[in-house]
């Protein structure tokens, strides 16, 4: 009887070991199967992880990309990690760039395509102190004006040509210190960034004269989502899911600003970039204004042919490109309609 009981106990132990081992085998199998359902992708914005790109970071943080089947790695952009080069060299699958930059790349033979135009308005502007006597565009004539290089030059130079004025051009750094110290009479600024820095220096808005290029017939839509033509053709579904998840991330960011600012500041600290909550809040609010302008009718992410042709015309006019792709070759809309 004792022997029988011992044998039963041994059998039960072996059964428990078998069952437990089976469960251990099943758990990683289930997990890996779930992971296999995600497609890995990489994305790089064109600058540091400030509120300008909050929607993408929130979409990753909240698991929105994973919800759409994407295991996304975000590479922080910046002066040493240009998004256009990462996309060109295949180090990133998706990138944000300005429309003018992407058209110029395409003209040089790099077959990038726009899959979503996130910003509908240009945020580039000129800022001047009223105390310098600048109140109209003609007052800039013969004045010292700070201008950034490369793609940032096109709109101000077109602005000067439009009003037939000839300011003294000074190459501007990323800082507005030269303007604040009186080294130039006017400076370039992004509405969501440097303009706020100027305000925070102690200068009131009514002490400034501003020239917004978007309001002067020179609207160059800026941040758009790009990939390569080959990547789009090989993974159209992934591109559409990436865009949809990104837009959802932006809508979440705008609806939950405090949570979003917490993440933005955490990412900036991680990248050893000094920042403050007030400035980043201003940036997030301005991004909403640029992405969803008051009175706009088209959904977030749509690039209009009118905007495209306007930029192409000016790029050609300044000899920066000779040819440009047909709009339908350059733009592959991945914005979902409500019934999709």
Return phi, psi of residue 203, to 5°: -95, 125
Helix (H, G, I), strand (E, B) or coil at 339: coil
- Do 124 and 188 form a contact (C-beta atoms < 8 A)? yes
Q: Looking at residue 27, what is its pLDDT?
A: 42
Q: Is 11 exposed, middle or buried (0-12, 13-18, 19+ CB in 10 A)?
A: exposed
State mean pLDDT over 284-294.
Answer: 93
- High-pLDDT (> 70) share of the chain, %: 87
Ordered structural domains, the chain, with CATH: 39-120+221-330 (3.40.190.10), 124-215 (3.40.190.10)
Helix (H, G, I), strand (E, B) or coil at 213: helix
pLDDT-derived band of residue 145, with 50, 70 and 90 as boundaries?
Answer: very high
Q: Looking at residue 318, what is its pLDDT?
A: 87
Q: Which two tokens stand for residue 56?
A: 């993408």
Return phi, psi of residue 98, to 5°: -75, 150
Please name the residue ranges forming H helices in 192-276. Answer: 194-200, 229-234, 236-255, 257-270
**Per-residue pLDDT tens digits for 89-132:** 999 999 999 999 999 999 999 999 999 999 999 999 999 999 99
pTM: 0.87
Measured at the CA of 173, the angle between CA 169 and CA 179, to 5 degrees, comes to 65
């Amino acid at each position: 009887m004792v022997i029988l009981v011992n044998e039963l106990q041994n059998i039960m132990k072996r059964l428990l070991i078998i069952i437990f081992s089976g469960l251990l085998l099943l758990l990683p199998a289930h997990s890996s199967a779930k992971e296999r359902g995600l497609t890995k992708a990489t994305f790089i914005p064109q600058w540091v992880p400030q509120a300008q790109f909050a929607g993408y970071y929130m979409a990753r943080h909240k698991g929105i990309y994973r919800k759409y089947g994407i295991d996304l790695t975000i590479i922080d952009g910046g002066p040493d990690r240009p998004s256009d080069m990462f996309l060109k060299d295949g180090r990133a699958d998706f990138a944000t760039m300005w429309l003018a930059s992407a058209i110029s790349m395409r003209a040089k033979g790099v077959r990038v395509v726009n899959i979503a135009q996130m910003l509908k308005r240009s945020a580039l502007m000129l800022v001047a102190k009223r105390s310098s006597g600048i109140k109209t565009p003609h007052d800039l004539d013969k004045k010292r004006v700070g201008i950034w290089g490369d793609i940032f030059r096109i709109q101000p130079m077109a602005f000067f040509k439009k009003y037939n004025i000839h300011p003294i051009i000074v190459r501007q750094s990323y800082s507005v210190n030269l303007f604040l110290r009186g080294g130039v009479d006017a400076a370039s600024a992004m509405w969501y960034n440097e303009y706020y820095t100027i305000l925070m220096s102690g200068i009131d808005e009514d002490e400034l004269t501003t020239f917004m290029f978007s309001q002067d017939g020179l609207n160059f839509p800026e941040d758009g989502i790009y990939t390569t033509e080959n990547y789009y053709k090989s993974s159209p579904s992934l591109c559409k899911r990436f865009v949809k998840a990104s837009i959802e991330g932006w809508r979440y960011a705008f609806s939950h600003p405090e949570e979003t600012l917490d993440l933005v500041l955490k990412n900036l600290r991680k990248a050893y970039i000094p920042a403050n909550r007030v400035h980043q809040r201003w940036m997030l609010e301005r991004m909403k204004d640029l992405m969803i302008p008051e009175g706009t009718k088209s959904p977030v992410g749509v690039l209009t042919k009118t905007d495209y042709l306007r930029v192409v015309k000016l790029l050609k006019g300044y000899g920066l490109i000779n040819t440009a792709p047909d709009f339908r070759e350059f733009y592959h809309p991945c914005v979902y309609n409500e019934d999709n």
